[in-house]
Each structure stands twice: as structure tokens, then as C-alpha cells.
């Protein structure tokens, strides 16, 4: 396409003022594709370089994602181990607390039993003497 044809596209269609002959753009036989072909050809190496950069970025992203998945799996496994240890520690603490509580209750129960036995022995002696007095005939002083 010649320079004249390119410029013919921009011929004025008419100027303000009195009516005159109106110009019509020239028909472009080769079309805009032939004009843009050299531009796209010049951009072809850049497009290829961009495609390589995109492929490299995708590969790096895949590697980063895989590494992140591995780190997450390791953290999850460690968390499971810690959770198991924490559960065991909590169970041991609860068991120790329950054992201490049971021991305190048992000690308290033994003390109560000792008090009741002492009270019972004191009362038993008094009841035995009252019973003996009630059974003995006051006139004769013997058992009936």
C-alpha cells in the first residue's frame, strides 16, 4: 500500500462554508491486515518471550504450591502428635485430680467411722450399765 492510499483515507469530506465537491475515501484493496502484518511480525518474538515467562511462572507456582502442601501436611502431622500428647496429659491430670479427691474422701470417711465407733463404744457402755440396772431386781439385787 502506498503512502498516497493511506493518506487518501483521510481526505476531507467537506469543509465548512459553501457547498463544494465532496471527496470519497479511496477503496483499500489490500485491507488493514496487510498494514498490520509487519507490526505483528515485529511483536512475534515478544509474544514468544511472554509465553515462556508465563510457562515459567506457572511452573514456579506449581512448585510453590507443592512445597506449601508438603509444609501443610508436616504441620498437620505435628499438630496431631501434639494433640495426642495434650490429650494424654489432660487425661493424666484429670486422673490425678480424681485420685487425690478420692483419697481425701476416703480419709474423711475413715475419720467419720472412727468418730462414730468412739461415740458408739461410749454409748454402748452406758447402755449396758443401764440395761444391767434395769434387769437387776432392786429388792434382791439379782437377775430375775
Q: What is the dihedral of CA 102, 108, 114, 119, to 10 degrees?
A: -140
Per-residue pLDDT for 43 more than 90? yes
Residue scoring higher pLDDT (102 or 141): 102
Question: What is the reported pLDDT for 131?
Answer: 80
**What's the mean per-residue pLDDT of the chain?**
82
What pTM was computed for the model? 0.43
Q: What is the dihedral of CA 93, 99, 104, 108, to 10 degrees?
A: 160
Per-residue pLDDT for 99 more than 90? yes
* pLDDT tier for residue 45 given thresholds of 50, 70 and 90: very high
Q: Do the beta carbons of residue 92 and residue 99 sit within 8 Å?
A: no
* pLDDT tier for residue 79 given thresholds of 50, 70 and 90: very high
Highest mean pLDDT among 36-45, 57-66, 131-140: 57-66
Amino acid at each position: 500500500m502506498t503512502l498516497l492510499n493511506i493518506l487518501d483515507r483521510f481526505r476531507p469530506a467537506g469543509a465548512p462554508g459553501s457547498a463544494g465537491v465532496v471527496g470519497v475515501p479511496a477503496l483499500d484493496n489490500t485491507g488493514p491486515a496487510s498494514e498490520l502484518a509487519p507490526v505483528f511480525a515485529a511483536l512475534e518474538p515478544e509474544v514468544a518471550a511472554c509465553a515462556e515467562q508465563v510457562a515459567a511462572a506457572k511452573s514456579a507456582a506449581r512448585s510453590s504450591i507443592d512445597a506449601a502442601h508438603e509444609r501443610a501436611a508436616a504441620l498437620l502431622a505435628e499438630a496431631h502428635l501434639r494433640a495426642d500428647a495434650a490429650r494424654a496429659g489432660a487425661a493424666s491430670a484429670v486422673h490425678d485430680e480424681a485420685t487425690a479427691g478420692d483419697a481425701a474422701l476416703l480419709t474423711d470417711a475413715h475419720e467419720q467411722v472412727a468418730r462414730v465407733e468412739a461415740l458408739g463404744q461410749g454409748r454402748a457402755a452406758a447402755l449396758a450399765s443401764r440395761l444391767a440396772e434395769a434387769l437387776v431386781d432392786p429388792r434382791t439385787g439379782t437377775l430375775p
